[in-house]
Amino acid sequence: MANRQQKPGSIWHTTTVESAREYQQAYDQSNIIATTAGQKRTYDVARHQSPSRLDETMPHKRTLPQPPFMNHAPRLSASSIEFADGSVVSSQPTEYSQRRAFPSTPTASIDPLLSLSHPVYKLPQQLVANFTSSGIRIIYPWQKQCLLGPGLLDGEKNLVYSAPTGGGKSLVADVLMLKRVFGERDAKAMLVLPYVALVQEKVRWLRNVVNGISRQSLGQQDRGEKLWAQRADRDTIRVVGFYRGSKVRATWSDFDIAVCTIEKANSLVNTAISDCNISKLQSVVLDECHMIDDGYRGYLLELLTTKLLCLEQSIQIVAMSATLTNIDLLKRWLQGHSYQTHYRPVPIEEHLVYEGKIYPAGTTAALLKTVVKLDQRTQTSQTQASQSRLPHVRAIRPSQHKELKDPVRNAVVALANETARAGFGALVFSSSRAGCESDAILISRAMPALEEVDLDIQEKRLDLLGELRSLTTGLDPNLERTIPFGVAFHHAGLTTEERDLIANAYDAGVLKVCVATCSLAAGINLPARRVILHSARMGRDLVGPAMLRQMRGRAGRKGKDEVGETYLCCRQHDLEDVVDLMHADLPRISSCLISDQRRIQKALLEVIAIRLATSRESLDHYVSKTMLAYSTESHFIQENIEASLRNLKMSGFITTDEDGNFQATLLGKAIVASALDPEDGVFIHHELQKALKGFVMDGDMHVLYSFTPIPDLENFAVNWRIFWNEVQQLDDSGHRVLISVGLSPGMLNRMALGGTLKETTPEEKDLARRYYRFYLALQLRDLCNEVPIHRVAQKYEMPRGVVQTLSQNCEGFAVGMIKFCEIMEWGAMAAALDHFSDRLKAGAKSDLLALAKITFVKSRTARVFWDNGYKSVAAVANADPNELLPILMQAQPNKVRLEAKDEEKYKEKLLAKAKVITDSANRLWQIEMQQDIEEE
């Protein structure tokens, strides 16, 4: 990146030998500063000075030339952790040297029903083989008992079940869902997940599971479609991911298994009911179903499920979670079977870390006893406290480094370092993005020096750095500092590609420590030998019991770890709240439909718009199928329905015909089709109505503004000085757009000078939304004009991941806006927006749209191809991959001079990418030629 050219990162531009010498000198000098003895220690000495429970023998290290590295910060010595009796090494076997005694899973020879090949499950042989190749050779007894529940394998009953994180709960749902898909040729299934990362991960998993399974092998013959209507993949099981920002449009006919976010699943079901295609749906799986209680988006799960329950067809609904309490409520609502288990294949030991002491928190009694003594300690003198024998199991020595004087930070570094030095993985949760990066840097400075790391691992870390550097966003400078020591951070400020590379490297053992924000606990499957919580806060607020359980549940990796450990670090002022949190019961879930009047309005508007319920009787029937009806008094529900219907009429969303039946207006239908909330729909309607009266067509800004999602007022920040500077540089067309949407240059000037934007009245909130949208539209303008994500992030002082998410969200929002205009019968507006949507996807100008359809050829890369004479798909298709190699090297964001061996590896990777590009171009070219033939 440009702002780092003169920094120590220039060491990457020297040879390996030169940089190794430079690093060794810096390392020797830094160790003189960092160690108390004034000498550099060998690994063996360091290990004896730093007692550890993780006392398995480390892999043999070879003495080899050191790889290049840029971090010249002084090294740190992690504090040692001693046992309660003062010993450095325990004389007793620990869980790291011998497996804990707990009941192991019986084998299939003892219980044949633990094998998925057993006839009772009636699974295809190829599916069982795919499960086996994925590591699932036998199932757990609880999974067997759950699957054999009444009517489940035949799809006759719904199921709601709860199992701990890491307990294998997904497999039960996978088996039931796949049985429904394999049952009929046209059967479809839907799997609903709360986060995009989980959707992407599940798509990869399911594609591997169904690989090689054809409809013909299942005995399902082709129904004789016309040749021109047949798909090339018509005989395969098609798994497709649907989420905002995905490149796939939500078409019901293009999948057999749809893996969706909550919002996309609800929209997909609305479309299918409206188009009368829903009859093919046989199975719906609701993962993390406890989120139905989430105040922001959980109610959509209730809407989705209620619509399915209202259909006159058999759809098996499978709901699962690791944090369900009142499972009986869900059982009654779904009219199905329920199952609960507390089994974990890898047991977890939980600890509280307080003032450098580690206390067991395995049982409520032990925890309460610890709290009492801790409270006594805070009320007695230091002498009395030292005489009191608190039930701690280990103690972390204070650090002599000023960076680690804080006992919590010192504990985090010591615990992570101890885990990594024994060759295991540690997952550290921090309360913020800045905290993630700070913790990662400190931990990396205390990790084993480069000479202590096996060359194979070090080379893999350098390969990881090379892959991160080759991304269009370049290499994050902090990751460049931490990754060589086996440490990385993972948060929403990173791009999707960066997070994927880091997660894969951590899962493969290349990285030993991953520092993440709390959202990672539910957002992706990254288990660890040890989970360390820097605090129990997410931002300023304490996490809830469910989130705490999610984080702690990541401890213990099946197949790699025999046990798991969690350590929750706590400050004195948080002690009482943290202890209460650690032994708090999980909250009981409840319906969110009437906690906000807008939610019940959205529920009613949706079913009226898709004509699932149009009379008052059918609406009452629909509401009786909600979870709300099973937990709230009927008269209170009726009052909310009456008030909501009145508001929907007043807002112009619905009308009544002469028979008293409800009908959605064009506006109501447009809001539902574009997946907007009613309140946001009113705002968008007014915005587009203004645009119809004076749409600025001689520039891009008005289209881009229309494609920009409505920002959340409570969680959005604007740099007003940057905003003002960008507006000053707008051309005449851009200034007319600014005025057209109702913004004032004078107001922007006042805000840049420190003014305040009021957001009290509805009118003030709408005005704030317009300012915020325009600010985001400016960023979208740069992205569509081929400015790389990292440059846009620098320009607007925003994390790169946030800018990338904006780009992805705008793609989904744009599709919604086009639908909105089509249903409102604004044909010209819809055509104008649709014409520009391809540029939004490509992140490029109009001349590059054809090239941008090629795999790996987007934005900057497409421009480099164009400038080098490859201006059409046909030109790329007919190119030799070796001819594209120098062009791909030119397209890389950072030009690095590498050693000969690394240069060859780098070229090999780019050549492989070039082959993928030419293959993709060939497929697109063949499609183009086929279309030309058909048109003739």
CA dist., res. 429 & res. 441, Å (int): 14
Query: What is the distance of C-alpha 896 from the center of its chain?
Result: 31
The enclosing H or E element of 338 equals strand 337-340
Q: What is the length of the chain? A: 936
What is the predicted pLDDT for the residue at 10?
A: 33
Look up tokens 């997660």; give the residue.
Answer: 503
What is the predicted pLDDT for the residue at 745?
A: 92
* 3-class state of residue 859 by DSSP: helix
- For residue 876, the tally of other CB atoms under 10 A from its CB is 25
Going by the DSSP 8-state scheme, the letter that residue 749 receives in this structure is: H
What is the predicted pLDDT for the residue at 176?
A: 97
* C-alpha dihedral sign at 836, 837, 840, 844: negative
**What does the domain layout of the chain look like in residue ranges?**
2-69+82-90+347-582, 112-218+233-340, 597-664, 678-843, 853-935
Strands 537-538 and 541-542: antiparallel
Give the C-alpha distances (Å, rounded to integers) separating 465 from 409, 438, 508, 511.
Answer: 27, 19, 15, 12
What phi and psi values does residue 193 have, to the nearest 5 degrees?
Answer: -130, 155
- For residue 653, the tally of other CB atoms under 10 A from its CB is 28
Give the CB-side neighbour count of residue 68, counting CA atoms within 13 A. Answer: 22
CA dist., res. 235 & res. 801, Å (int): 38
- pLDDT tens digits along 107-163: 666 789 999 999 999 999 999 999 999 888 899 999 999 999 999 999 999 999 999
CA dist., res. 66 & res. 819, Å (int): 58
What is the predicted pLDDT for the residue at 935?
A: 59
CA dist., res. 901 & res. 891, Å (int): 21
CA dist., res. 10 & res. 69, Å (int): 10
Among candidates 529, 517, 541, which has minimal Cα distance to 567? Answer: 529
Residue 869 near residue 875 (C-beta atoms within 8 A): yes
CA dist., res. 855 & res. 713, Å (int): 36
* 3-class state of residue 519 by DSSP: coil
Report which residue type is found at 855.
T
What is the predicted pLDDT for the residue at 629?
A: 93
What's 678-843's CATH class?
Answer: mainly alpha
Partners of 321 in beta bridges: 162
CA dist., res. 701 & res. 732, Å (int): 11
What secondary structure, in 3-state letters, does 538-577 show? ECCEECCHHHHHHHHCCECCCCCCCCEEEEEEECHHHHHH
- For residue 396, the tally of other CB atoms under 10 A from its CB is 24
> 820-840: b or e for each residue (b if 16 or more CB lie within 10 Å)?
bbbbbebeebbebbeebbebb
Strands 159-162 and 316-321: parallel
Residue 42 near residue 70 (C-beta atoms within 8 A): no
Among candidates 742, 694, 741, 707, which has minimal Cα distance to 821? Answer: 707
Six token digits for residue 518: 């709390």
How far separated are the first and last CA of the chain, in Å rounded? 50
The enclosing H or E element of 601 equals helix 597-609
Residue 189 near residue 180 (C-beta atoms within 8 A): yes
Which CATH superfamily hosts domain 112-218+233-340?
Answer: P-loop containing nucleotide triphosphate hydrolases (3.40.50.300)
Query: What is the distance of C-alpha 369 from the center of its chain?
Result: 38
CA dist., res. 929 & res. 531, Å (int): 55
CA dist., res. 848 & res. 842, Å (int): 8
CA R_g for the chain: 30
What is the predicted pLDDT for the residue at 822?
A: 93
What is the predicted pLDDT for the residue at 86?
A: 58
The enclosing H or E element of 515 equals strand 513-517
CA dist., res. 737 & res. 251, Å (int): 34
Which CATH superfamily hosts domain 2-69+82-90+347-582?
Answer: P-loop containing nucleotide triphosphate hydrolases (3.40.50.300)
Six token digits for residue 362: 């395995």
55: left (phi over 0), alpha (psi -120 to 50) or beta: alpha
Out of 2.40.33.10, 3.30.830.10, 3.40.50.920, 1.10.10.10, the CATH code matching 597-664 is 1.10.10.10
What is the predicted pLDDT for the residue at 55?
A: 41
Mean pLDDT of each 10-residue bin along the chain, 936 residues long:
37 33 39 32 34 39 43 77 64 38 57 92 93 90 94 95 89 96 91 90 93 79 48 76 68 89 93 90 94 85 95 93 90 95 86 88 54 56 44 86 92 94 91 92 90 85 86 84 94 89 92 87 77 86 84 78 87 82 84 83 95 93 94 89 93 91 95 92 94 89 92 84 95 94 93 90 93 95 87 91 88 89 91 81 75 80 85 87 84 57 71 86 81 63
Among candidates 674, 543, 803, 753, which has minimal Cα distance to 271? Answer: 674
- How big is the CA angle at 606 (ends 604 and 609), to the nearest 5 degrees? 110
- How big is the CA angle at 639 (ends 634 and 645), to the nearest 5 degrees? 120
Report which residue type is found at 351.
H
* 3-class state of residue 26 by DSSP: helix
Fold identical between 112-218+233-340 and 678-843? no
CA dist., res. 35 & res. 758, Å (int): 54
